[in-house]
C-alpha cells in the first residue's frame, strides 16, 4: 500500500512540473519573438515621428499632439518589452 502511494505521489509531481519545464524550454523562442515585436514597434513609432516632422501642414495641432503621445507610449512599451525579452534570454542562458 505504501509503495502504491509513493508511485502515485511521484507521478503526480512529474505531471505537475512538466508544463513549467516545457514553458522554460521555449524561453529562447518566446524572448526572440518579444524582441522582434518590440523592435518593430520601436521602428514604427520612430517612423511616425519622422512623418509628423515632414508633413505638419496637413495635420491640426490636436492631431499632432495625439500622434506624438501615441508614439511616445509605443516607444516606452516597446522599450519595456525589449528589456523583458533581453532579461529572459540572459536568464535562460545563465541557467
Question: What was the pLDDT predicted at 16?
Answer: 54
Count of beta carbons in the 10 Å neighbourhood of residue 35: 19
CB 82, CB 35: distance < 8 Å: yes
Given a cut of 50, the residues of the chain with pLDDT beneath it are: 1, 5, 8
How far, in Å, CA of 64 to CA of 58, rounded?
A: 10
Question: What was the pLDDT predicted at 28?
Answer: 84
Amino acid at each position: 500500500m505504501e509503495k502504491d502511494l509513493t508511485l502515485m505521489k511521484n507521478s503526480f509531481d512529474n505531471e505537475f512540473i512538466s508544463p513549467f519545464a516545457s514553458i522554460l524550454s521555449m524561453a529562447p523562442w518566446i524572448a526572440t519573438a518579444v524582441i522582434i515585436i518590440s523592435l518593430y514597434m520601436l521602428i514604427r513609432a520612430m517612423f511616425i515621428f519622422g512623418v509628423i516632422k515632414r508633413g505638419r501642414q496637413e495635420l491640426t495641432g490636436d492631431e499632432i499632439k495625439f500622434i506624438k503621445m501615441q508614439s511616445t507610449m509605443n516607444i516606452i512599451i516597446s522599450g519595456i518589452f525589449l528589456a523583458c525579452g533581453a532579461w529572459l534570454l540572459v536568464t535562460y542562458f545563465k541557467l
